[in-house]
């Protein structure tokens, strides 16, 4: 093995280092200049490539005769930032994420242990049925769901009548709006005037009617667009009969039923489908829904309900100190319940899509990476966002409404819908959900220039912790307090009649 020694001088490795002639002063000066030129050239390349690139990569090529063997080892520093600094381009934080998950599990396991020691085992599935099963087996919620078929069949008959020329487009559109108006008012009237309707049944039936109304509106709008597409001059003159046949083939009860059961709000003909139903995926989604529902029931009964039992007054009648104390206690379980609800929605939509071989399963985006609340709202619920853009935003834009005003109207409509679907089943309307969403809109508009990137994502998570989910739990809290007060008043002893009171008053003291 040869060892380099000076300019163009190699010695055998068995020779002693002391036997090598030391370089002269001129040779040392040449070597220093060569090393300085190498370092300066490497730093210049790093500056041109970017200040925050990784360290230079050493090649495996043997050193040339003009380079020293240790030249690459003499320059080991370059301009770069620490990995955890904001200027660094480092993104691999999987280890930190695992640490946070383990820490959260251990922390909340401690809370669960304290809860079990203090309150015991409180999970009882029978209590859930009490909120779903309605008195005297009248089942007003089930009757509401069954009665929704009338509105769906009416929409189909109106489309067929318009397709056959029995109704003009204007009259058919007016009748569609009347049908949709009755569809929205009918469940609200039943829930308000039927005392046997349970809160859980009212909520599920109201959600069903809301989704059905959005689907039927998309159904009549899309068929109107299809009809306009076929009514061209060429179709009128030559292929009118063929276009009429193609139009009527899709106006069937089977096609409408598939659309009403499909996990989408926007109607179109010929939905994309998968080749077959995968039974293992179907059972997997079903098992997920069962497990998630059990966990949600456990969190409500074991964690949230004891917090409700500590208060005897509603949130509207509490002082500010008690309100803050209760809200702080409810932040963690409410947030976990909201995340589980999202996962339950994910499992349910994929279950329906797999059962119907529905191909488009883009139900949500990566909302957890959203750097602003506006991005979160666009990625949180893709079917609803798609329906709003297709049937509300686009229609407003065609009427020369500005884009910012159209987006504001769409947001206010969604906020009012959330308030309607939560407040009506609980018979309690304080506009807390609506006002909380409006407040988040103000935060998104006025703070978007100050919170960007990771800071913006942190602001999104903070709003999710202290936003609408917490407002929803306040409605449930007030409903729980009023429900137990009614139960206590109904189980109280009877008040003596007036004759008994008069006889007691006339007795001598």
DSSP string, 435-449: HHHHHHHHHHHHSTT
Domain that holds residue 163: 136-261
Q: How far is CA 402 from CA 377, 385, 389, 399, 443, in A?
A: 20, 18, 14, 9, 22
Give every CB contact of residue 50 below 8 A, 6+ residues apart in sequence: none
Q: Is residue 102 part of a domain?
A: no
Q: How many domains does the chain have?
A: 3
Domain boundary among 207, 230, 261: 261
- pLDDT level of residue 301 (50, 70, 90 thresholds): confident
pLDDT at position 41, please?
46
Show the tokens assigned to 441.
């809109």
Provide mean pLDDT across the span 228-246. 58
253-278 mean pLDDT: 92
Phi, psi for residue 12 in degrees, rounded to 5: -75, 145
Query: pLDDT higher for 393 or 74?
Result: 393
pLDDT for res 71: 72
> pLDDT at position 496, please?
39
Q: What is the pLDDT of residue 7?
A: 45
Q: What is the pLDDT of residue 507?
A: 39
pLDDT interval class at 287 (50, 70, 90):
very high
Tens of pLDDT, residues 37-66: 544 444 444 444 443 344 444 444 454 545
Q: Are residues 194 and 288 in the same domain?
A: no
Domain shared by 338 and 409, yes or no: yes
Are 328 and 421 part of one and the same domain? yes
My answer on whether 257 and 387 are in the same domain is: no
Which of the pair, 121 or 459, is modelled with greater confidence? 459
Q: Tell me what the mean pLDDT of segment 456-485 comes to.
A: 87
Query: Taking 80 as the threshold, does the pLDDT of residue 473 lie above it?
Result: yes
Gap between the Cα atoms of 199 and 183, Å rounded:
20
Report residue 107 as tokens.
């922390």
Q: What is residue 2's three-state secondary structure?
A: strand
Do 330 and 215 reside in the same domain of the chain?
no
Average pLDDT of span 421-434 = 88
Question: Same domain for 343 and 457?
Answer: yes
Residues 240 and 318 in one domain: no
Give tens-digit pLDDT for 93-148.
Answer: 788 888 888 888 887 777 778 777 776 777 776 666 665 565 555 677 888 889 89
For residues 476 and 38, the model is more confident at: 476
Token pair 């020369």 is found at: 400
By the 8 A CB rule, do 2 and 13 touch?
yes
Q: Please report the pLDDT score of residue 247 as a whole number.
A: 61
Q: Tell me the mean pLDDT in the region 20-26.
A: 53
pLDDT band at 478 (very low <50, low <70, confident <90, very high): confident
Mean pLDDT score, 384-413: 92
What pLDDT does residue 135 have?
A: 56
First CA to last CA across the chain, in angstroms? 125
Of 393, 416, 408, 473, the C-alpha closest to 441 is 408
What are the Cα distances from residue 212, in Å, to 73, 159, 162, 180, 184? 71, 16, 21, 9, 9
> Which of 203, 135, 292 has the alpha carbon at shortest distance from 479?
203
Digit-coded pLDDT (tens) for 197-223: 788 888 889 999 999 999 999 999 999
Q: Are residues 360 and 453 in the same domain?
A: yes
458: Cβ–Cβ under 8 A, 6 or more apart, which residues? 451
- Tell me how far apart the alpha carbons of residues 435 and 451 are, in angstroms, rounded to a whole number: 22
Same domain flag for 164 and 222: yes
Structural domain contains residue 480: yes
Which range, of 230-234, 254-258, 393-397, averages the lowest pLDDT?
230-234
The pTM (predicted TM-score) of the whole model is 0.75
Report yes or no on 495 lying in a domain: no
């Amino acid at each position: 093995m040869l060892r380099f020694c000076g300019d163009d001088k190699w010695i055998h490795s068995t020779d002693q280092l002391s036997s090598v002639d030391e370089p002269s002063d001129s040779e040392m000066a040449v070597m220093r200049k060569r090393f300085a030129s190498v370092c300066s050239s490497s730093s210049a390349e790093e500056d041109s490539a970017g200040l925050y690139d990784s360290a230079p990569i050493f090649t495996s090529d043997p050193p040339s005769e003009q380079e020293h063997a240790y030249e690459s080892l003499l320059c080991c520093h370059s301009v770069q930032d620490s990995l955890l600094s904001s200027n660094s381009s480092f993104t691999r934080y999987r280890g930190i994420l695992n640490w946070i998950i383990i820490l959260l599990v251990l922390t909340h396991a401690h809370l669960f242990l304290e809860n079990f020691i203090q309150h015991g085992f409180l999970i009882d599935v029978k209590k859930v049925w009490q909120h779903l099963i309605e008195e005297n087996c009248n089942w007003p919620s089930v009757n509401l769901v069954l009665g929704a078929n009338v509105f769906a069949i009416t929409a189909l008959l109106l489309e067929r009548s318009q397709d056959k020329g029995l109704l003009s487009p204007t009259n058919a559109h007016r009748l569609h709006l009347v049908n949709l108006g009755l569809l929205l008012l009918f469940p609200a009237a039943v829930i308000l005037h039927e005392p046997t309707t349970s809160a859980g049944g009212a909520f599920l039936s109201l959600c069903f009617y809301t989704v059905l109304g959005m689907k039927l509106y998309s159904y009549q709008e899309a068929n109107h667009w299809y009809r306009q597409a076929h009514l061209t001059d060429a179709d009128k003159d030559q292929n009118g009969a063929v276009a009429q046949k193609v139009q009527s083939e899709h106006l069937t009860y089977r096609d409408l039923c598939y659309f009403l059961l499909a996990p989408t709000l926007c109607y179109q003909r010929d939905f994309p489908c998968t080749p077959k139903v995968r039974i293992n995926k179907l059972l997997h989604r079903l098992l997920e829904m069962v497990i998630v529902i059990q966990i949600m029931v456990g969190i409500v009964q074991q964690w949230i309900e004891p917090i409700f039992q500590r208060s005897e007054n509603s949130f509207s009648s509490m002082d500010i100190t008690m309100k803050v104390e209760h809200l702080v206690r409810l932040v963690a379980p409410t947030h976990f319940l909201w995340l589980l609800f999202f996962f339950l929605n994910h499992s349910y939509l994929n279950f329906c899509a797999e059962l119907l071989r529905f191909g488009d399963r883009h139900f949500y985006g990566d909302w957890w990476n959203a750097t602003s609340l506006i991005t979160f709202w666009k990625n949180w619920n893709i079917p609803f966002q798609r329906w709003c853009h297709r049937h509300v935003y686009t229609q407003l834009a065609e009427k020369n409404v500005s884009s910012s005003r159209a987006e504001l109207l769409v947001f206010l409509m969604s906020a009012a819908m959330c308030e309607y679907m939560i407040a009506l089943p609980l018979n309690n309307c304080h506009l807390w959900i609506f006002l909380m969403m409006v407040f988040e809109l103000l935060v998104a508009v006025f703070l978007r220039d100050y919170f960007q990137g990771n800071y913006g994502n942190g602001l999104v998570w903070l709003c999710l912790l202290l936003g609408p989910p917490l407002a929803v739990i306040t409605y449930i809290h007030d409903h729980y307090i009023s429900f137990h007060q009614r139960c206590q008043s109904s189980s109280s002893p009877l008040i003596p009649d007036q004759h008994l009171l008069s006889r007691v008053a006339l007795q001598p003291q």
